[in-house]
Amino acid sequence: MTDILAKHFGADDFNPEKFVKDLSAQCIGVDELHKLRARIQELSTNTSGQLKLNVYQNYMQFIETAKEISHLESEMYQLSQLLSEQRSLLSTLGTSRASGTIFDDALESQHENSDLMSKEEEQKQKLVQLLENVDGVMSLVETSGRVCLHEGSLLELDPLEGTPLKRIHAYLFNDVLMTASWLATGGRRGPPRYKMQAIYNLQSLAIVNVRDLGTVKLAFKLLAFPDPRVFQCASATSKKEWLDKWEQAKRARLIQENQIEISDNHEIFKKHTIAPSRSMSLDSNTVGMEDGNESERFESLPEWLLEVTEDLDSCIAQRHFEEAYTLWNKAKNYLNEAQDSSHIKEITAKVEDRGRLLVEVLTRELELSAEAKSLQGGGLRSARRAVRLLIQLERAAQACQLYLQLCNAALKLRLKRVKREGTTIPYVKQLSAIAFSNISETAKEFLKLFPATTNCTSSLIVWCSQEVKHLTSHLIKQLFIPQVTLGTLAECIGTVRGHCDQLTQLGIDLRYQFDGQLRSPLSRALQDAGEKYIDAVKVRAAEDNWRPSNLQSSQNLEKLMIDLDDLGITMPSEYLTSNYWISLTSNTLAFSRLYVGLLEDCLSVTTPELIFTIENVLISVMRVQVQHIVAALNNAKQQERKLVQDNASYVRNVIIERGLVLYNSATAHEFTKLLELKNQIVIEKSVNNKPKPAPRTSVPKYFSTEYM
């Protein structure tokens, strides 16, 4: 049926109104309509799930395709650079072949100088024509060798909100980038006029791509001091031209710097290798060969190493931290194996600076995550990347501290979401379960991230101890109040202890710390509960009228038996006098429930440090009842003696025996003080005090026969 519905919905001529009318005509009753509605909902659920699956698969395929395209783009760019280098080498070889030597003579040098002069004049004229509509930029024309690579209009956006600010006109030269603002005084019919706004040196500048997000589209970011700026292009082609021209200017500047450094090294080397006489010509030739070898070594550096600092800046700015670390590690390994030189030292210093910058950025990201007001479930998962990179960057201690701070913030946020609604027990159970499950998960994740670092493991132990301490302090404020009974307190403490024992599976035992923190308030709570129980027992003892209990129905008798059985005490048959009568007073039955409940609550929270307090509480409550029973045994009336003896026997042989068993199972020791109280209850055997009848002697009915 679902497949038929899917075919109907997928038809080209599907009409919803007609479909509903046909179904209404075919269906009989409401039940069939409900069934059909359930099938349509099932089809909707299946279609939604299939759509999500297809979207996920297509998205993963899109990511893989994008990665392959980026790799192909980088390879094509490298091939283009190699082809341009080969083209320049071929042109150089062609010119040198015509002259027969690679050294230029004086005539060729004069021609080249004249050509250079003419080219400089031509470039200067072009700059003058280009900048004639910009006020205050004539000084830019005076710099020799300056060429305009690209220029165009851009829209400046707010870096934070992405709102439009103003339109500007930008000029990209081979050494600087200039921005100019529009002037409103320009003629409407003539060309627009601009005013110079800012000039940025390409050495201290970086341009990075900005991904399309919301209203910000076709934009790139200018990373400049003091504040970054964001510009939006008119089209995708314009944006691509700006980024391509920027890459071209960056590479040209790097090549120019390398050539200047090589020429400077040549000049310095020539000054030190001038021969004083012809006899030193051989040595000078040797030195010249060394100079050539050094220059060849400079020129043999790979292109990626010359651009490594720029690439690292770009990766860090775009938050591609894994790529930045891979490139940094590759450069570091290459520089460690390379021969020492001034150029290698300079690149090494720059690479080390970028490594420190990467550490600062990763550290700041973890700090901001810990300070965030809303930490979602993905906060810790996203922090794994930064933590792993910091560990690889040999910052394990710093990563450990920041990760634990982030876990602390996440745990506090989760605990704040637990609201106290209703009774105390569900609140404490939920709070304890969330706290210890998160601590356990954090410990497992921490041991995965820091598997072989002893110092970090000790930090984890300290962190777990602090979190348990904070949780216990909060529970003390919630539990140790007059409104919370001893039974509720015992159940909550038992629950938290069970959750705390989960950490022992990871080798972390914080049970002693938890019990130690509860020792003082729990001792006071036990003493207060003991005083309340003593008062309750005294009141019931004063109201005891020594009458057997009448349960009035078999249901009540059965319920009493079940309640006593749940407490672990029985009702021997000798105490059942008739169908619904029991030879125990209501005071004895109430004390049985009270004292066994007190026993279970006290022994469930027992620790070696609290055993003395618990014994005093149990003995104090039992002593009051024993004194009441002993007084009744000594002063019982003749008609009440059997009932008093039954109650005393029940307390002595059932209640106290149950207390001895529970105490021994909880502490593995004998409750000697309770045994002493048991021995104080002495039940004398009943003595038959009825008078003996006088012996009968045979007396004759008649003393004499005279009456006969």
Q: What is the pLDDT of residues 335-355, one digit of tens each?
A: 888 877 888 888 888 888 888
**Residue type, position 146, single letter:** R
- Please report, in angstroms and rounded to a whole number, the separation of the first and last CA atoms in the chain: 124
Question: Could you give the angle at which helices 454-479 and 396-416 cross, rounded to 10 degrees?
Answer: 20
The pLDDT assigned to 363 comes to: 87
Please list, in sequence order, all residues whose beta carbon lies within 8 angstroms of the beta carbon of residue 311, skipping any fewer than 6 positions away. Answer: 304, 327
Q: What is the pLDDT of residues 86-145, one digit of tens each?
A: 877 887 777 655 544 444 444 444 445 545 555 666 666 777 777 777 877 777 777 777
DSSP SS3 for 550 = strand
CA distance 426 to 287: 88
**How large is the average pLDDT for residues 560-587?**
84
**How large is the average pLDDT for residues 133-161?**
81
**How large is the average pLDDT for residues 66-88?**
76
Q: Which two tokens stand for residue 406?
A: 């982030």
Cis ω on the peptide bond leading into residue 226 (within 30° of 0)? yes
**How large is the average pLDDT for residues 514-530?**
93
Does an H or E element contain 590, and which? helix 586-604
Residue 51 has pLDDT above 70, yes or no: yes
- Do the Cβ atoms of 8 and 20 come closer than 8 Å? no
Q: How many CB atoms lie within 10 A of CB 649?
A: 18
Instruction: Name which of 97-111, 128-142, 200-214, 653-667 the model is least confident about.
Output: 97-111
The pLDDT assigned to 22 comes to: 76
Residue 525 has pLDDT above 90, yes or no: yes
Q: What is the pLDDT of residues 256-297, one digit of tens each?
A: 777 766 666 555 545 544 444 334 333 444 444 444 454 445
Beta bridge partners of 215: none
Q: What is the pLDDT of residues 233-242, one digit of tens each?
A: 988 888 888 8
The pLDDT assigned to 417 comes to: 87
Residue 76 has pLDDT above 60, yes or no: yes
Look up the pTM and report it.
0.55
* Higher-pLDDT residue of 493, 318: 493
Buried b (16+ CB within 10 A) or exposed e, 361-392: bbbebbeebbeeeebeeebbeebeebbbbbbe
Residue 534 has pLDDT above 90, yes or no: yes
Q: pLDDT class for 636, splitting at 50, 70, 90?
A: low
The pLDDT assigned to 372 comes to: 61
Query: Which residue has tokens 């894994």?
Result: 322
Q: How many CB atoms lie within 10 A of CB 624?
A: 17
Q: What does the mean pLDDT of the chain come to?
A: 79
In Å, how far are 58, 162, 694, 705, 708 from 701, measured between CA atoms? 131, 139, 19, 10, 11
Most confident of 208-212, 358-362, 534-538: 534-538
* Higher-pLDDT residue of 697, 431: 431
Q: What are phi and psi of 131, to 5 degrees?
A: -100, 10
Q: pLDDT class for 708, splitting at 50, 70, 90?
A: very low
- Do the Cβ atoms of 628 and 545 come closer than 8 Å? no
- SS in 3 state form for 147-216? CEEEEEEEEEECCCCCCEEEEEEEEEECCEEEEEEECCCCCCCCCCCEEEEEEEEHHHCEEEEECCECCE
DSSP SS3 for 230 = strand
The pLDDT assigned to 39 comes to: 82
CA distance 207 to 163: 20
**How large is the average pLDDT for residues 555-562?**
86
Angle at 140 between CA 135 and CA 145, to 5 degrees: 150
> Torsion angle of alpha carbons 522, 526, 532, 535, nearest 10°?
-160
Please list, in sequence order, all residues whose beta carbon lies within 8 angstroms of the beta carbon of residue 635, skipping any fewer than 6 positions away. Answer: none
Most confident of 50-64, 107-121, 643-657, 674-688: 643-657
Q: What is the pLDDT of residues 455-504, one digit of tens each?
A: 788 888 999 999 999 999 999 998 999 888 999 999 999 999 999 988 88
Q: pLDDT class for 232, splitting at 50, 70, 90?
A: very high
Q: pLDDT class for 685, splitting at 50, 70, 90?
A: low
CA distance 7 to 2: 9
- Do the Cβ atoms of 307 and 254 come closer than 8 Å? yes
